[in-house]
């Protein structure tokens, strides 16, 4: 079993990605940093439950995600970025994202439903597998795949790359890789 010092170092190594994920979920630096802090405290308090050799990153991201859900329930609000406020707060400094296409992408990204945005971040940005992301989000693998597909399709549509209705079509009989009793893809 890794020592406390090793565990601390492992957590510190994951901080940049953890914070980026928190920023993407919350849209604001202040809320994201509070969320990261909450996640770190929880991870530390529950570190005996982590099995060394398993995916610490996935474990830590799950803790942060759960903390975010708890916070949202307390606040009882959803990030509905109708006016683009979320996108504006998510932006990195103007020097780094000067191009209009990136600003456009950020605005489009902000309009994604929370579950789709989260799915795209986990799969497309952080590189988790569908199986890992589904476990972290407590959903079926097919549901996770559907969320990612829909997110990509919506972004493509908003960016003028494709028509959203065309992009979400699946061929007849396409398997979503799940047994019949699993939740249907949404």
Partner 1 sequence: MSEKIVQPPSQAPAEVRGEDRNDVPEHGLDVDSRDAIAGRLKQLYGGLVNEPMPDRFKILLDRLAGSESKS
Q: Which of residues 105-164 bind partner 1 (CB under 8 A)?
A: 105-106, 109, 120-121, 123-127, 129-132, 135-136, 138, 145, 148-149, 152-153, 155-156, 159, 161-163
Q: What's the burial of 4, exposed, middle or buried (CB within 10 Å: 0-12/13-18/19+)? A: exposed
Of the candidates 76, 61, 74, the residue with the CA atom closest to the CA atom of residue 25:
61
> What is the footprint of partner 1 within residues 7-66 (CB under 8 A)?
8, 11-12, 15-17, 19-20, 23-24, 33, 36-37, 40-42, 44-46, 49-51, 53-55, 58-59, 62-63, 66
Size of the site for partner 1 (CB under 8 A): 74
What is the C-alpha separation between 36 and 6, in angstroms, rounded?
19
Residue 113 phi/psi, 5-degree rounding, is: -60, 155
Give the SS3 label for residue 128: coil
Q: How far apart are CA 174 and CA 133, in angstroms?
A: 21
Residues 65-84 that bind partner 1 (CB under 8 A): 66, 70
Least Å distance between CB 82 and partner 1?
A: 20
Q: Does 184 bind partner 1 (CB under 8 A)?
A: no
H/E stretch holding 142 reads helix 141-158
If the CB atoms of residues 23 and 68 are measured against partner 1, the closer one turns out to be 23
171 binds partner 1 (CB under 8 A): yes
């Amino acid at each position: 079993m890794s020592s406390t010092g090793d565990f601390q170092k492992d957590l510190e190594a994951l901080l940049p990605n953890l914070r980026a994920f928190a920023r993407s979920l919350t849209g604001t630096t202040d809320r994201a940093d509070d969320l990261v802090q909450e996640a770190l405290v929880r991870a530390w308090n529950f570190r005996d439950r982590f099995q060394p050799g398993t995916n610490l990153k996935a474990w830590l991201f799950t803790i942060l995600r759960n903390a975010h859900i708890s916070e949202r329930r307390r606040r009882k609000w959803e990030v509905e970025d109708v006016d683009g406020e979320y996108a504006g707060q998510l932006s990195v400094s103007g020097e780094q994202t000067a191009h209009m296409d990136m600003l456009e992408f950020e605005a489009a990204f902000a309009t994604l439903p929370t579950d789709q945005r989260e799915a795209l971040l986990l799969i497309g940005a952080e590189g988790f597998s569908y199986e890992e992301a589904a476990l972290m989000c407590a959903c079926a693998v097919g549901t996770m795949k559907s969320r990612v597909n829909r997110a990509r399709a919506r972004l493509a549509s908003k960016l003028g790359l494709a028509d959203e209705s065309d992009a979400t079509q699946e061929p007849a009989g396409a398997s979503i890789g799940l047994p019949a009793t699993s939740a249907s893809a949404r």
